[in-house]
Structure 1
Amino acid sequence: MLFFSYSTLIYSVSSESNHKYNAPIINIDFLEGHTIDMETTISGEILYADNINSVSWELVDSSGSRGFFDITDDLLFRSSGGANISNFQINIDPYSIGPCSCLIVVSLTIEGGEPIISSRSIFIESPSFPDWIAGPTLKIHNTPNSWASGVVEIFGISSTYSGNDAELYFSITNSSGVNCLDEEIEDFTSVEHERIYEILWSSGTFSTNISFSHLEDGPYQLTMFSNDTQTGLFADDCIPIKVDNTEPDVIINGENTVFESGDLLYFDGSSTTDFPWGIEGMTYVWSVSRISDLSIENIIVFSGQSPLSPGIQSNYSGIYQVSLNVVDRAGNRGSDTFSFEIINMQPEARLLINSEEVSNGNELQIDKNSTISIDASLSYDTENDQETLRYIWRINNVPLYEGISREIYWPDTDSDRFLLSLEVVDDDSETSIISVLVVDSENTSSPIFTIILFFSAAVFLSYAANKHRNTDTQSDIPKWT
């Protein structure tokens, strides 16, 4: 009488051709470590069986393959609950195979994905060999050539003919290749090995933790032994392991100081190293923060395979910190931080009067009864600030208008002169000021008066500019377009 169990081993794959949410799952309806003594058909199924390339099963013992069978053309397809399912059968004849402590290994390949494997232990008795003594089985299910750092969970299957849990041992040796070589698998009785005491068993499946933290980085071979204490027989299996206990040495390259602009800033982490395995497959996690007196504001968090940072806007002055965390394929993390400053460029005030450019401190003689065209359109700043510049016009140090250009009249005063000032303010409250003395062309005065007027104006305007830098409030100055 046969007993059946519903237990699976899942190897996750990443493939766009797979089911949108699920990777294929192989189910073998056979109890781990069961014994058969007659011709037997074992059923199995593949859940989410989309885009299958091939399916095969193999019977393997300690000496190698006892039979390989491609069953791709024998699959029976059906659909259930929106999932595609493929059914298959495994036929085993003890008379033709002979006695065996074997593993049934079902392999599946799909388009664009890694092979998916599920295994079961089976003991085959044959009447032709009544004195046969069954040894234990062992299969490590960790992916060969996987990365190891620190303590790693090792899992697999191991069964004994009696049904008792076997003793498990392991050894770790240097390896020269990506595959375990038969000559590198030492005999259980002749190799130094360490017994594993903390094991989680469940119906022939096991999981345990093995430490690789004491090893230098490099390729190794993990060999495990399963010892049946009742028979004294053992089984072995091995997988190649890539040990990487060293965190990446992270280096950020970039400019410490840049001027505010509309350009994007980039930082480079390509000088990062990770000896001896190299930088292939590493994940770069970038974060950028703006640092103020009261807080740290996170601006960007980005991860990817490229060592180049995402583009960082440079249109806002301040102190910033960029951090780079690099995670290698073994999960080790290294980090570096880099501070930089975006400096605001002070605007440049330029003034046109009656279409003629004038300089700071000029004296202009204009008919008191004529209109005066004033224009600040030649003033400039960095590209990011240009559109937000404020143009504040003062007459005799009194702010009267805000806008880029207009026509004005002589102030309503008996004076034959007035001081015209243009203050250009950017969004960081940086200012630039230009002042000219406008004099009635019919009535000029001595230069001493002009010097005094400019001096007093300079003192006042310096005070006004400083106020702009220390307040965010908008003034009530009339604006025009």
Structure 2
Amino acid sequence: MWSKQAVLISLLIMLSIHSSDSFIDGDNHQFYSDTIDNSDPPLLGFDQELGMTIAGNEVISGFTVSSTLPDSTEWQIIRLSNDGIPANVTNPVSLEISPSSSNQDDGLSRWVWEFTIDSSSITNCTCFITVSSTANHLSSSISSVFFTGVTNKPALIIDGWTNLNEDYLAFSDHIDITGRAFSQDNLPVDLLIMAISSDNSANACSDNHEISSLDGISGDSSEFINNFSLFGDFSESVDSSMLEDGWFSLWLFISSHQSSSIIQSQCFVSKIDNSNPVAIIEGEISSTEGDGNLIFDAGSSYDQYWGKEGLNYVWTLVSLENSGTTLMEIKEGTEISYFTVQDDISGNFELSLLVSDERGNTDYTSISFSVENLPPVAKLIVSDQSLTDGDKFELPDLKEWKLDASNSIDTANDLDGLRCVWKINFRTIYEGCERTLLWPEDDTNDTLLLTLEVIDDDDDFSTITVELSRSNQGNEIPIAIIVLLISILFFVSSVFYSRRADDMEIPKWND
């Protein structure tokens, strides 16, 4: 049942990474996309499988996929120094690109590029090679590793993580790490992950840990520590469900498999969000139809640590009926912190709210409310005469009379669905708001009771009963006939008396 279920909305979050740090590869190696548009950054890829040791001059080639011609494409080499700090070998160097002869099935354009690395100028190096491209004012980059000479320093590239100058990492019950691990001797790379809580984002990663060996890291120095041995492409997940919500410094320490000496270290300012938000609905639980819209407010909903920012609201309105529940409306969005119920409905309802935060944590609440139906108001007109309940009315001397209830009143939502039922002496004879009344043929009485029932779609109704009367048409002689008979009688009498008078005045002759 709707009243027992939360509406689950899947939130798809696409994270565009624009990293220039040699330790971070902001792009995935899946280069095909059928959804890229002008708002997407370009995609880049190497033709070679790097992580190799190069000697002499080596040509590095690759490609860029974009909806428009890239504004710029650059490459750069960064060396991993003995103290684990990246150092520029070259400044960014502009790349010339040319259209590719291969076709893109997704309607995008492909450009190719290449450049040459002189390994003799970079001896005994664990080096990062990074190519960056900008198109439509959006940038992306791709990185990999190569070795020259002899070096015992392995290297790691992490996919999908941002650097300190951009957006913050955000995690909930687990921390996923994917990337590629490289070492010249093809031995695994040891990785230690350590999370340290911080008061705020500004203080996170501000401490530069003077740690030279993985052996020098104790469990007391952080909220959690995890170790991995990695080589080649990898994907690992760290349980972080025990961490409380807040800001964290997420440290990564890398060493070779042969020695615990730390070769690389990197810190990421991170957000942990493990707690569910709190869903709150405020609003009236009873109203009357037509009294004004009901507004239910979820503005007091919150995330216990992160506040209201990023909360998403899913509203579900159902009607509670005897036959079950009926879904009426669903609304969802980060800006929809209130829900409006129009005042043109009535009945019993349940409004549920599912609040989710950016990490997918949710909370659910609901509120039941009722809107009382406003009954209709019956209006009766008989032969152009407005009547109210209990009135008595003598009908005009006609054979039929017009009945009109079309001026009956109700709320806008019920008005078009009003039903009008007419009864004579409490027996139903008509339905419809405009009818014609004929005196029942078998009724010899001079009065009758006319009842009007006006019914809305909620079966609420209003009635008017009036007494109608007529003149005794069966026993009385019409006035016109009476006048005619009197006139005829008067005329006959006048003629009769006139002749009699003339006869009496005729003179008699005397013999």
Same-fold call, TM cutoff 0.5: yes
Aligned equivalent of 1:65, options 63, 66, 87: 87
Q: Which position in structure 1 is the counterpart of 2:250?
A: 222
Judging changes above 3 Å, is the alpha-carbon distance between structure 1 residues 151 and 55 closer, same or farther for their aligned structure 2 residues?
A: same
Distance 1:239 1:89 in 2: 32
CA gap 1:262/1:71 in 2 versus in 1, 3 angstroms: farther
Q: 2:346 aligns with which of 313, 317, 320?
A: 317
3-state SS of the aligned residue for 1:80?
A: coil
- 1:5-404 aligned at under 5 Å gives the runs 8=29, 16-18=37-39, 24-48=42-66, 50=68, 52-60=70-78, 61=80, 62-67=84-89, 69-70=91-92, 74-78=96-100, 80-81=103-104, 82-111=107-136, 113=138, 115-125=139-149, 133-144=151-162, 145-175=168-198, 176-177=200-201, 181=205, 183-189=207-213, 190-192=216-218, 196=226, 204-233=232-261, 234-260=263-289, 266-309=295-338, 312=341, 315-367=344-396, 369=398, 371-404=400-433
Q: 1:12 to 1:169 in 2, by over 3 A?
A: farther
Superposed displacement of residue 348, structure 1: 1.0
Q: Which moved more, 1:224-233 or 1:151-160?
A: 224-233
SS of structure 1 residue aligned to 2:374:
coil
Give the root-mean-square deviation of aligned CA atoms.
3.2
Q: 1:15 to 1:257 in 2, by over 3 A?
A: farther
Compare CA radii of gyration and give the structure with the larger one.
2
| Pair 1:429-2:448 in alignment | no
2:240 corresponds to which letter in structure 1?
F
Q: Quick one: distance in 2 between partners of 1:433 and 1:138?
A: 85
Further displaced range: 318-327 or 402-411: 402-411
1:43: Cα distance to partner? 0.8
Partner AA of 1:141 in structure 2: D
How many Å separate the matches in 2 of 1:310 and 1:217? 29
Amino acid of the structure 1 residue aligned with 2:153: G
Q: Shift of the alpha carbon at 1:418?
A: 0.3
**1:168/1:195 contact within 8 Å kept:** no
Q: Any idea what SS the aligned residue of 1:275 has? A: coil
Structure 2: distance between partners of 1:97 and 1:191: 33
Amino acid corresponding to residue 92 of structure 1 in structure 2: I
Name the counterpart of 2:482: none
Give the CA deviation at 1:304: 1.6
Distance 1:13 1:310 in 2: 36
Structure 1 residue 180, shift from structure 2 partner: 6.9
Cα deviation, 1:88-125, whole Å, max 9, x if unaligned, reads 22432233333321222333344365x43322122122
Equivalent residues of 2:193, 2:253 under 8 A apart: yes
Instruction: Note closer, same or farther for the CA distance 1:414–1:68 as it changes in structure 2 (3 Å cut).
Output: farther
* Secondary structure of residue in 2 paired with 1:74: coil
Deviations 1:332-386 (A, max 9, x none): 1122212222332211111122323222111223356564332212211110111
In the alignment, is the contact (CA less than 8 A) between 1:102 and 1:123 conserved in 2? yes
Question: How many residues matched?
Answer: 425
The whole-number CA distance in structure 2 between the counterparts of 1:263 and 1:111 is 49
Q: Secondary structure at the match of 1:35?
A: coil
Specify every segment of 5 or more residues in structure 1 that has no aligned partner in the other structure, as ranges. Answer: 1-6, 126-131, 444-481
Unaligned 5+ segments in structure 2 are 1-27, 163-167, 474-511
- AA in 2 matched with 1:151: H
The letter of the residue matching 1:88 is W
For normalisation by structure 1, the TM-score amounts to 0.78
Distance change >3 Å, CA 112–CA 66, structure 1 → 2: closer
Q: Cα distance 1:380–1:300, how it changes in 2: closer, same or farther (>3 A)?
A: same
AA partner of residue 138 (structure 1):
L
Cα deviation per residue 1:250-309 (whole Å; 9 max; x = unaligned)? 112333234445987553322211133232232222222222234333233332221245
- Pair 1:349–1:182, CA change in 2 (3 A): closer
TM-score (norm 2): 0.74
Distance 2:341 2:289 in 1: 12
Displacement of 1:49 in angstroms is 5.1
Please give the alpha-carbon distance, in whole angstroms, between the structure 2 residues aligned to 1:264 and 1:70. 62
Structure 1: distance between partners of 2:329 and 2:292: 16
> 2:464 and 2:93 mapped to 1: Cα distance?
89
Confirm or deny: 8 A CA contact 2:285 2:370 kept in the other structure: yes
The 1:300–1:396 alpha-carbon spacing in structure 2 relative to 1, beyond 3 Å, is same
Q: Residues 309 and 11 of structure 1: is their aligned pair in 2 closer, same or farther, counting only changes over 3 Å? A: farther
Give how far 1:174 is off: 2.8
Shift of 1:85: 0.9
**Counterpart in 2 of 1:408?**
437
44-53 vs 210-219, greater mean Cα deviation: 44-53
Provide the secondary structure at the position in 1 that maps to 2:315.
Answer: strand
Query: Tell me, what secondary structure is at the counterpart of 2:194?
Result: strand
CA–CA distance in 1 between the matches of 2:273 and 2:52?
A: 39
Alignment partners' CA distance in 2, 1:428 and 1:34: 79
8 Å Cα contact 1:324/1:335 also seen in 2? yes
Is the partner of 2:409 in helix, strand or coil? coil
Secondary structure of 1:306's aligned partner:
coil
State whether residues 139 and 237 of structure 1, in contact with CA within 8 Å, keep that contact through their aligned partners in structure 2. no
> Equivalents in 2 of 1:118, 1:162: separation in Å?
24
The SS at the match of 2:121 is helix
Distance 1:117 1:186, change over 3 A: farther
Q: Deviation per CA, 1:185-212: give whole Å up to 9, x if none.
A: 442424336764566x5x6222211122
State the Cα deviation string for residues 27-47 of structure 1 (Å, max 9, x = none): 123334211232222111123
